[in-house]
Amino acid sequence: GAGVSQSPSNKVTEKGKDVELRCDPISGHTALYWYRQSLGQGLEFLIYFQGNSAPDKSGLPSDRFSAERTGGSVSTLTIQRTQQEDSAVYLCASSLVQISGNTIYFGEGSWLTVV
């Protein structure tokens, strides 16, 4: 596609429910990243994929968070038993390959509100 596509763009969920956020990277990009941005805050790294494998999961805040990537393309970030502190914008990004200095392109984000 022309850019990184994320869905849903907005999601309101009840505390305790599970949510799935989807990311479709730029066609041909092998590296995919998930970041979280809380209101008025910077971007917090969650996880990145090179192909279908995730060499770095160090940013996942708890075991309620998981992510997978299939076919080297689409990725899904799953948050189980959502809590109010999970409310944030979840940003996906991709780059051609995972090399320092390779331009990283962001999607528009999925705005998650847990009530």
Partner 1 sequence: GENVEQHPSTLSVQEGDSAVIKCTYSDSASNYFPWYKQELGKGPQLIIDIRSNVGEKKDQRIAVTLNKTAKHFSLHITETQPEDSAVYFCAATGYSTLTFGKGTMLLVSP
Enumerate binding residues for partner 1 (CB under 8 A). 4, 33, 35, 41-43, 45, 48, 55-56, 91, 93, 98, 100-101, 103-109
Smallest gap, in angstroms, from Cβ of residue 36 to partner 1? 11
CB 80 within 8 A of CB 88: no
Kindly tell me which of 56 and 72 has the beta carbon lying closer to partner 1: 56
Token digits for 61?
A: 């805040």
Nearest Cα residue to 94 out of 24, 22, 32, 23: 32
Kindly tell me which of 27 and 100 has the beta carbon lying closer to partner 1: 100
Smallest gap, in angstroms, from Cβ of residue 89 to partner 1? 9
Count of residues in the chain: 115
Smallest gap, in angstroms, from Cβ of residue 44 to partner 1? 8
Kindly tell me which of 99 and 115 has the beta carbon lying closer to partner 1: 99
CB 76 within 8 A of CB 20: yes
Q: What beta strand segments (E) does the chain contain? A: 5-7, 10-13, 19-24, 31-37, 43-50, 53-56, 65-69, 75-79, 88-95, 105-106, 110-114
Kindly tell me which of 41 and 62 has the beta carbon lying closer to partner 1: 41
Smallest gap, in angstroms, from Cβ of residue 2 to partner 1? 13
